[in-house]
Amino acid sequence: MLDMDRIPRHVAIIMDGNGRWAKAHGVPRVAGHNAGMKAMKKIVDHSDKLGVEYLTVYAFSTENWKRSVEEVGGIFKLLVKYVQSDLKGLIDNNVHVNILGDYSAIPEDARKSLEKTLAKTSANDGLKFNIAINYGSRDEIRRSVTELCRMVKDGQLEPEDVTEEMIGAHLFTGHEDIPDPEVVIRTSGEERLSNFLMWQCAYSEFVFVDEFWPDFTPERYEKALEIYQSRDRRFGGR
């Protein structure tokens, strides 16, 4: 049974399997992404009810641009649809939305929808809902190192004074003071990070589940958190 006194502060989720769900159901891949959006809404709502402080979902990676133009376009159209239909609910539920990644590169209508959401939820102090869009951990680390190199070049910092904390502070998560996730959940049976929060997940627990993301229910979410709670986290100690 889930221990409500030990709910992780930050949960990160790799929402995997929309395409395979669509194939299994004999529908277009975009239909799988639509079903995935509905699942995401349920998990956001349930995270809020459980008392999770930070929820980060991997929505679109820097590598996802390799997919077909039709699929990529469909994903961003669904993002606009999600924002338009759920913005009021996010505001009413005091959810604060944040974006991890360079979202300036996404289609204009999706970017404007996201910017509207960021503005409308900026004063909310409830669940911090982080959406990783056009995000890649290697790119994030590169950006952090570039900023620190620029500070060294400008004489603001000595190379030997660079610390892990400084690198972390210049990541997308550092800009928002987002703590490292205690647990990372990945759906669809795959067991890899896929360039997601690699710096931040140094001591995270990993829970891999077989369900495709559209089939990941709040009940299965709780089961995944139970698995996390069963772990003995030692952070390199004994």
Catalytic-role residue among 3, 5, 16, 180: 16
Helical axes 29-50 vs 69-92, angle rounded to 10°: 30
64 is known as an active-site residue:
yes
Q: Which of 64, 93, 124, 195 is catalytic?
A: 64
The residue whose two tokens read 């939820």 is 121
What's the token pair of residue 129?
């809902």
Strand partners, 97: 129
CA atoms of 75 and 59, how far apart (whole Å) = 9
Would you list the DSSP string of the chain? ---GGG--SEEEEE---HHHHHHHTTS-HHHHHHHHHHHHHHHHHHHHHHT-SEEEEEEEETTGGGS-HHHHHHHHHHHHHHHHHHHHHHHHTTPEEEEES-GGGS-HHHHHHHHHHHHHHTT--S-EEEEEEEE-HHHHHHHHHHHHHHHHHTTS--GGG--HHHHHHTSHHHHTTPPPPSEEEE-TT----SSSSTTTTTT-EEEE-SS-GGG--HHHHHHHHHHHHTS---TT--
Catalytic site residues?
A: 16, 64
